Structure 1
Amino acid sequence: MAVTDGVVVWIGQDSVGRALHPDAEVIELNGAFVAPAFVDAHVHATSAGLLLTGLDLTRTASVAELLQQVRDAEGLLVWGHGWDETRWPENRPPTRAEIDEAAAGKTVYLSRIDVHSAVVSSDLVTDEVRAADGYTEDGPLARAAHHHVRGTAKAAITPEQREAAQRAFLRHAASQGIASVHECAGPDISGEDDLRDLLAVDEGPEVVAYWGSHDLPDVPVRGLAGDHFVDGALGSRTAALVEPYADAPTSGALYLTAQQIADHLVKCTEQGLQAGFHVIGDAGMATVVEGFTIAEKTLGTPALASARHRLEHVEMVTAEQAAQLAGWGVIASVQPLFDAEWGGPTGMYAQRLGTERGVGLNPFSRLAAAGVVLAFGSDTPVTAIDPWAAVRAAVHHRTEGFGVSPRAAFTAHTRGGWRAAGVDDGLTGTLQPGAPATYAVWETGDLVVAGSDARVQRWSTDPRSGVPGLPDLTGPAPVCVRTVLNGRTIYERK
């Protein structure tokens, strides 16, 4: 492959390429393969960076272990993320009294894995928090109460800590073969200063900014989309359901009406902006569909569809709704690792919804079959940035028939991400003459597949071909040795 001024100008046989470009700098790959770089279509950079530099609770195995981590944490502010009580033997979150005892005077903010609730120390609980929706006396805080305490804890993070977290995140993303990330910011998530600082970072992947609100911030953004909340999350029991949760007497929360959704779609379409919403529960999806239906009557189908509005997560969707979304040109920004983490007959989804409903989530094949463009992401720090694991999860869905082919999965995590951000020129996200030289170099090798008939298997040099390694995705994934964005190296393994 030959690259000139950040653009692929030739692909073909090595000897021909050297003859055509005799003065080129030659980079020998020694058997490594080149593929289009990944795009992560849904991230929260600062929070993910704080997970790298702060208290990582994603592998915490019990309440007792979490409390010990709080005791051992240094500094006046303990910012942690990732606890999941559905994996613990106690099957409950820690109480505020337990947090206070372990904190010993430190301020503690610990978000649940879905970032829709948190346990906190008592010094964060003000009268405003107590009066807010989602407040509980001794348990996790959700909804508006959670937004209040998160804002207070976030304000205690210094600009230096924030910059360090953002840079750590972008370096890590680049090391995973990712050349672009979609930052899903918003007034209740990160704030304008946070987004402004992130866009000013001069290293790592390209950042495409979204703002989850009705109103434009004083920061350049691709659209008023991303985490513009229609509802909450299943783990925190705030995703809006038609029927109540199986393990609690609640149906979640709706934050927007169909008319508000329609008004937002109309305003953004008329202003040439991409609109979008966070939606997870089936009642939330029904409200979104109703909102699009109302907006269609005002705008007409061509104008609505050409705007390529997007939805985040889309975990509960019927075949009929998928067809409607496709007709409106909607792009689905989805997270395959959600199914890997919480799907199946015994996972968190089944605990919250019952087995029958719980195994029906994240139907990627249904969306793809209807013609909905898929863009894969992590929602990090909710799940890890691990694009090969996401490809594997999308192929090997825990519910039979809901997965997609290796080629479709790889495309959704590469070209699909560019299309979700409005880049649909037929070149970006591919490797062909005329395409931006945005790619990753992956080191592969023989890997032993465990079992009585242990054998040696080599990964395919074309990850889209499905021959022979990718469909099984057994053993370790390829290791990134170089990530390139528009001809500029943003990561190189030392």
Structure 2
Amino acid sequence: MAVTDGVVVWIGQDSVGRALHPGAEVIELDGAFVAPAFVDAHVHATSAGLLLTGLDLTRTSSVESVLDRIRAAPGPLVWGHGWDETRWPENRPPTRAEIDEAAQGKTVYLSRIDVHSALVSSNLITDEARDADGYSADGPLSRAAHHHVRGTAKAAITPEQRKAAQLAFLRHAASMGIASVHECAGPDISGEDDLRDLLQLGEGPEVVAYWGAHDLPGVPVRGLAGDHFVDGAIGSRTAALVEPYADADTSGALYLDGPQIADHLVRCTGLGVQAGFHVIGDAGMAAVVEGFEIAEKILGAPALASARHRLEHVEMVSADQAAKLAAWGVIASVQPLFDAEWGGPTGMYVQRLGSERGVGLNPFSRLAAAGVMLAFGSDTPVTAIDPWAAVKAAVHHRTEGHGISPRAAFTAHTRGGWRAAGVDDGLTGTLQPGAPATYAVWETGDLVVAASDSRVQRWSTDPRSGVPGLPDLTGPAPVCVRTVLNGRTIYERK
């Protein structure tokens, strides 16, 4: 492959390439393979960076293990993330009294794995949070109460700590073969200063900015989309459901109704920006469909579909709803590792929703069959940045029939991410003459692949022949040795 000024200009036999470009710098790959770089279509850079630089609770095994981490953490602010009580023998989170005892005066903010609720020390709770919806006298805070305490905790993070976290995240993403990330910012998530600082860093993967609110911020953004919340999350029991949760007397929280969703769609279409929403529960999806139906009557189907609005997560969706979303040109930004972490007959989804509903989430095949464009992401720090694991999870879904082919999964994590951000030139996200030289170089043991039709093939390094399968990830995953964005190396393994 030959690259000039950040663009692929030639692909073919090695000896021919050397003859056509006699003065070129030559990079020998020694058996490594080249593929289009990944795009992560849903990230939270600062929070993900704080997980790298702060208190990582994703693998804690009990209440006491969390308390031990609090005791050992330096103060004055202990920012942590990733606890999941459904994996613990106690099947409960620590109480506020237990957190206060372990903190010994330190201020503690610990977001749950889904970031829709948090454990906090008493000294972080303001009167405003105490009076808000979602407040608990002794348990995790959710909904508006969580937003209040999260804002207070964020204010305690210094600009230097924030920059260090953002840089740590971007460097880590680049080391995983990712050339672009979609930052899903918003007033209750990170704030305008946080987003502005991230965009000004100018290194690592390209950052596509989204703002999850109804009004434009003072920072350039691709759309008023991302985490513009229609509802919450299954794990925190705030995703809006038609029927109550199986393990609690609640149906979750619906933050936006159909007319409000329609108003946002109409406004964004008129502004020429993408609209989008976070939606997980089936009642949340019903509200979204109602909103699109209202907007279609106002705008007409062609105008609505041409705007390519997007939805995040789309975990509970019927076949009829999927067909409607496809007709409206909706892009589904989904996270395959959600199923890997919480799907299956004994996972968190089944604990929260029961066996019948709990195995029906994240139906990628249903969306793809209806014609909905898929873009894969991690929602980091909710799940790890691990694109090969995400591809594998999408193919080997824990509910039979919900997975998609290796080719479709790889495309959703590469070209799908660019298309979700409005780059649909037929070249970006591929490797062919005229395409941006945005790719990753990978080392792996044996390049045998498991194709969707069960034949054993070798990985095709010729992008014109398509992607027949994916590297066999039952063993060690491919290791990134170089990530290139528009011809510029943003990561190289030492």
TM-score in terms of structure 2 length? 0.97
Amino acid at match of 2:10: W
Deviations 1:447-474 (A, max 9, x none): 999xxxxxxx99735496445x63x531
Deviations 1:250-284 (A, max 9, x none): 00000001101000000000110000000000000
Counterpart-to-counterpart distance in 1, 2:146 and 2:340: 27
Determine if the alignment matches structure 1 residue 184 to structure 2 residue 184: yes
Amino acid at match of 1:460: W
8 Å CA contact 1:33, 1:461 repeated in 2: no
Match of 1:452 in 2: none
Deviations 1:286-306 (A, max 9, x none): 000000000000000000000
Counterpart-to-counterpart distance in 2, 1:206 and 1:447: 29
Determine if the alignment matches structure 1 residue 99 to structure 2 residue 126: no
Match of 2:303 in 1: 303
Determine if the alignment matches structure 1 residue 222 to structure 2 residue 213: no
Quote how far apart the aligned CAs of 1:125 are. Answer: 1.1
8 Å CA contact 2:75, 2:107 repeated in 1: no
Determine if the alignment matches structure 1 residue 267 to structure 2 residue 283: no
Determine if the alignment matches structure 1 residue 412 to structure 2 residue 412: yes
Amino acid at match of 1:165: A
8 Å CA contact 2:373, 2:416 repeated in 1: yes
Amino acid at match of 1:230: V
Q: Number of aligned residue pairs: give it.
A: 485
8 Å CA contact 1:446, 1:458 repeated in 2: no
Match of 1:26 in 2: 26
Matches within 5 A, 1:270-285: 270-285=270-285
Match of 1:369 in 2: 369
Matches within 5 A, 1:68-87: 68-87=68-87
Match of 2:290 in 1: 290
8 Å CA contact 1:151, 1:188 repeated in 2: yes
SS of the counterpart of 2:215? coil
Deviations 1:422-479 (A, max 9, x none): 0000000000000000000001114999xxxxxxx99735496445x63x53101100
Match of 1:239 in 2: 239
Amino acid at match of 1:477: A
Counterpart-to-counterpart distance in 1, 2:414 and 2:155: 35
SS of the counterpart of 1:27? coil
SS of the counterpart of 2:360? coil
Amino acid at match of 2:79: W
Amino acid at match of 2:459: S
SS of the counterpart of 1:8? strand
Match of 1:316 in 2: 316
Structure 1, unaligned runs of 5 or more: 450-456
8 Å CA contact 1:444, 1:459 repeated in 2: no
Match of 2:459 in 1: 460
Match of 1:161 in 2: 161
SS of the counterpart of 1:128? helix
Counterpart-to-counterpart distance in 2, 1:447 and 1:229: 42
TM-score in terms of structure 1 length? 0.97
Quote how far apart the aligned CAs of 1:169 are. Answer: 0.1
Structure 2, unaligned runs of 5 or more: 450-455
Counterpart-to-counterpart distance in 2, 1:465 and 1:272: 34
Quote how far apart the aligned CAs of 1:176 are. Answer: 0.1
Quote how far apart the aligned CAs of 1:7 are. Answer: 0.3
SS of the counterpart of 1:41? strand
Amino acid at match of 1:272: G
Give the 4+ runs in structure 1 shifted more than 2 A: 446-449, 457-467
8 Å CA contact 1:240, 1:280 repeated in 2: yes
SS of the counterpart of 1:179? strand
8 Å CA contact 2:210, 2:224 repeated in 1: yes
Counterpart-to-counterpart distance in 1, 2:185 and 2:125: 24
Quote the sequence identity (%): 87
Match of 1:441 in 2: 441
Counterpart-to-counterpart distance in 2, 1:126 and 1:432: 56
Q: 1:27 to 1:283 in 2, by over 3 A?
A: same
Q: 1:339 to 1:322 in 2, by over 3 A?
A: same
Counterpart-to-counterpart distance in 1, 2:473 and 2:100: 44
Counterpart-to-counterpart distance in 2, 1:345 and 1:310: 30
Cα RMSD over matched residues? 1.4
